[in-house]
Every structure is written in structure tokens, then in C-alpha cells.
Amino acid sequence: MCNCGRWAILSCAILTLTFLLIGPAIAAEKEVIRFWTLLDIRDPGPRSEALRQILAQFEKKTPNIQVQVETIPWAQIDAQLIQASAAGKGPDVTILSGQLIAQHVRAKTIVPLDEFVARWPEQERNDFLVPLKRTTFDGKIMGLFVQNRVPLLYYRNDYLKAKGLSVPKTWAELAEAGGKLSGNNVMGFAWGLDPRSRATALTEPLISMFWAAGEEVLDSNGRATFNSPAGVKVYQFINDLVHKYKAMDPSVASYTYEDVFQAVKSGTVAMNFLGNHRVVAAREAGNLGDKLQTAPLPGPTAGKPAPAHVFGWTLVIGKDSKHREAAWKFIEHMLTYESRLTDAKLAGEMPSRKSVYNDPWFKSGDAREMKMWADYAAAHGRVFAYPEKYNRLSELLAEAAQEMVLKGVPAQQVLDQAAKKYNVLVAQ
């Protein structure tokens, strides 16, 4: 099917849904903005429920603006934004991974937010966990973080107790515990190595592990350095998890982020790496309760966890928006203290605004785990300066890990090959 046909069908379906939901008379009186999100607001899950409540609060507060929600799978938002923008059919507001803003700045699919952010007092501009400079390109603010995340060690507390094991705090402890937990249709540890979906299952914690080993990933000119001795140490650890300790099965080479999540829900993995944002959903979907717990990522040495790779989703305004003031009002609402607190309480999302962590709720038992995540980010957090070609960087790192695990190619060799390919790409 041609692109025009796809967008025509999508537009027709959305217009029909809008008509059915709000009626022709009401729709005519409202300013309609299109909002792309990875969540399906019809889903009963906690993240969708949080978004439903935030949307209801906005429509109550701003009755003259109608938010038309369009669900795009998270791994497809990037490509579809480029495609829709090329056709002049991009959204007014979209959620966009902070990892991908650089390439959308170059593709000119999004617009600067400076004229809007300038209306804020300095205190509000400085209230973000991730400073605005991290979403600033060529002196222009291109997006604002709405949710922050850190990769964590997920572990089945009941599985560890049954084996008399403590929560791993070092790489060696993780490998040894993973080997002891493997068996009876349970994988001791899972770290997805598939390059699909930007290789997020691998790279989100991998960046932390590189930092823990002393590797910066890229130099000041954006060229690959991850094939250094420190980088090789990290990849050798991955290989040892599979072949030396038997903590991981070689099948992890085909695990995506979603595959790891499904394994957590079903109880077929004892430990794994995933972002904090999937904990609540995993517990509910798998009826796991307090059997599923989280901890900071282990580091190579005792008493020092791996640095917390702080990342997340941003809100941006699309270049095709004809309702930019309305779009900004919606973004402002999504970033309010109340909205971020709702997202934290219901969905387990880490607030992007520092002030929210002063809420009394964070002193309650319900928020104890999230406070741990925030403390981990505050004490050990770092922000990666994502390059424009981050997608390809992630894929190359995953392909290197697959070559090593499945074909026995040495860690140094696979990383040298990946670094060479990436540096050629950067030089173009």
C-alpha cells in the first residue's frame, strides 16, 4: 500500500472516532490537537490509566481544546514521525525518545520550544532532573523530558531465597547467582541482545556498564572508543554470562526488550535488566506482587553500583502543527506537578520534575521503591549525549554481541569491527 493510502485510511479512522466520541457540534467548537503516544488509552493497564486521568484533567481545565489521541507503537514513533512529516501530516504533539531528538532536529520534523519556555520563571526552567541543555541543539530547546528512567536489576526475590542467595551487587555475584538459578525452565539471568527496536534491551544498561568499566563509548568528536580494553571487559562479561557461568542461554541473542518483559511476567527468568517503568506493569500482569523486586545495576567492584544511565521520553511539537499555542498548553499540563505525581502514583513513572519528589507521598511506603530509583539517579546518575546516528550505533553494538555469543568471535574483534563501521558512518 502506498504511503498516501495508509495516511488516508488512518485519518478517516481517526475522524470517525472523533465524531463518535464528541459529536459534530462539540467538535466544531473545539480546537483539536493530535497527540501521538505509545500508550493505548483503552488499555486497562496502570500506565494507560494514568494518561486517561491526566487527559481528563486537561479537558476539564481547558474545555476549548480537544486532544485527539493516536497510539503509535513505541518502536515505530521515530520512523512514522519522519514519514508523516514528509507528507505534511505530522502530529501537533508527540512523545519522542530523548535518544532520538538529534536526528529529528536534522530532519526538521520538530520545532524549537524557546518562545514558550521563555515564559517560565528561572526556577521552573531549572526544575528538570535532566537539564534543558540535554535537549538543546544549536542553542534551541527542542524537547522537554516528561518521564525519566533508569535501567535496573530486576530479581525474583522468591527464587533467590529458595537458593539462599543475596541480591547481586557485583558482576561476579550476578554471574554466579545466575548460574545457580538456571534450570527447571528458568533462565538465571536475561539480557536481550537483539538489534531490533533500537537494541534497547542491550544498550540502555550497556551504557551504564561501559561507564562502570571506565569507557566513555564515544570521544569528543563523536568517534567510537568502545573497543578499548574497558569496553572489551564489558563484552567479555556478557560472553562469560553465557558460556562460562551458564547464567544466560544463547537464546538471549534474539531477545528484544519486549521478550525480556514477557519472560519477567511469566516467571521464566530469575533476574534481568529493564527500565524502572515496566516494574508496575510486570507485577500486575504476572500477579507477582512483592516477589518481583528491583535494585541498582551491579558494578565490577563491591560497594559501588554501576552509574545510573538516566534517559526517558520527551514531549515535542511537530513541524506540521497549526495549533502550536494549544499544543504548548497541553505540554505544560503534561509537565505540571499534579500530572507528574499522577503518573508516579499510578504508573510507577519517575517524575521528570525535581520538585515533585518533595511531595509527602514520597515519604510513604508506596513510594519507597521509586524513591530508591530517584536516589540512585541522584547519587550515581549520568546522562549520555546521544549522537545523531544513535540508532545505528545501538544496532552495531547488538550485532557485535550476537557475533560473540553465537559464533565465538572474540570480544576485541567484534568491537573493533563495530567501531570501524560506526566511525566510517560518522565520517560521511
Is residue 276 one of the residues assigned to a domain? yes
Q: How confident is the model at residue 7 (pLDDT cuts 50, 70, 90)?
A: very low
Cβ contact 260:201 at 8 Å:
yes
Residues 170 and 290 reside in one and the same domain? yes
* 115 and 65 part of one domain: yes
Give me 316's grid cell: 515535542
Residues 120 and 250 in one domain: no
CA distance 208 to 203: 9
**Residue 158, pLDDT above cutoff 90:** yes
Q: What is the CA radius of gyration of the chain?
A: 22
Of 376-380, 397-401, 413-417, minimum mean pLDDT range: 376-380
pLDDT bin (cut points 50, 70, 90) of residue 42 is very high
Would the pLDDT of 5 be above 70?
no
| Distance separating alpha carbons of residues 103 and 120, to the nearest angstrom | 27
- Scan for cell 547464567, then name that residue: 247
- Same domain, yes or no, for 160 and 38? no
Per-residue pLDDT, 3: 41
Residues 266, 170 share a domain: yes
Pick left, alpha or beta for residue 321 (phi over 0 → left; psi -120 to 50 → alpha; otherwise beta): beta
pLDDT band at 28 (very low <50, low <70, confident <90, very high): low
Q: Which CATH number do you get for residue 372?
A: 3.40.190.10
Element containing residue 293 per DSSP (H, E): strand 292-295
In a domain, 287, yes or no: yes
Residue 181 lies in a domain: yes
C-alpha cell belonging to residue 276: 524502572
pLDDT at 314: 97
296 and 242 in a common domain: yes
Q: Within a domain: residue 4? A: no
Do 204 and 303 belong together in one domain?
yes
Supply the pLDDT for residue 4: 42
The span from the CA of 415 to the CA of 248, in Å, is 21
- Residue 10 pLDDT greater than 80, yes or no: no
Residues 73 and 104 in one domain: yes
Residue 1 lies in a domain: no
Calculate the average pLDDT of the chain: 92
pLDDT for position 378: 86
- pLDDT top residue among 12 and 213: 213
Query: Does 98 share its domain with 194?
Result: no
Higher pLDDT, 8 or 195: 195
Global pTM reads: 0.82
Q: Please give the backbone phi and psi of residue 3, each rounded to the nearest 5 degrees, phi first.
A: -60, -40
Pairwise CA distance, residues 134 & 241, whole Å: 34
For the stretch 273-316, pLDDT in tens is 999 989 988 999 999 999 999 999 999 999 999 999 999 999 99
| Domain shared by 302 and 410, yes or no | yes
Find the mean pLDDT for residues 109-138. Answer: 95
Task: Flag whether pLDDT at 17 surpasses 50.
Answer: no
Contact present, 50 and 349 (Cβ < 8 Å):
yes
Last residue of some domain: 351, 366, 382? 382
* Residue 318 grid cell: 511537530
Q: Do 277 and 226 share a structural domain?
A: yes
Show the domain range for 364.
Answer: 16-142+311-382
Grid cell of 341 as nine digits: 505525581
The model's confidence at residue 29, banded by pLDDT at 50, 70 and 90, is: confident
Rounded Cα–Cα distance for residues 365 and 373 (Å)? 14
β-pair type (93-97, 31-37): parallel
CA distances from 207 to 113, 148, 226, 298, 374 (A): 29, 16, 10, 13, 18
Least Cα distance to 47 among 71, 63, 27 occurs for 71
Q: Is 9 inside a domain boundary? A: no
pLDDT on residue 398:
98
Q: Is residue 142 within 8 Å of 153, Cβ to Cβ?
A: no
Residue 44 forms part of a structural domain: yes
Q: Are residues 285 and 196 in the same domain?
A: yes
- Cβ neighbours around 140 below 10 Å, total: 12
Residue 64 in this model has a pLDDT that exceeds 50: yes
Across the range 95-106, mean pLDDT stands at 92
Give domain status of residue 8, yes or no. no
**Domain tally, the chain:** 2
Q: What is the pLDDT of residue 424?
A: 97
157-161 long-range contacts (CB < 8 A, ≥24 apart) are 157/290, 157/291, 157/292, 157/293, 158/291, 159/186, 159/270, 160/270
The 3-state DSSP composition of the chain as helix, strand, coil percent (nearest 5) reads 55, 15, 30
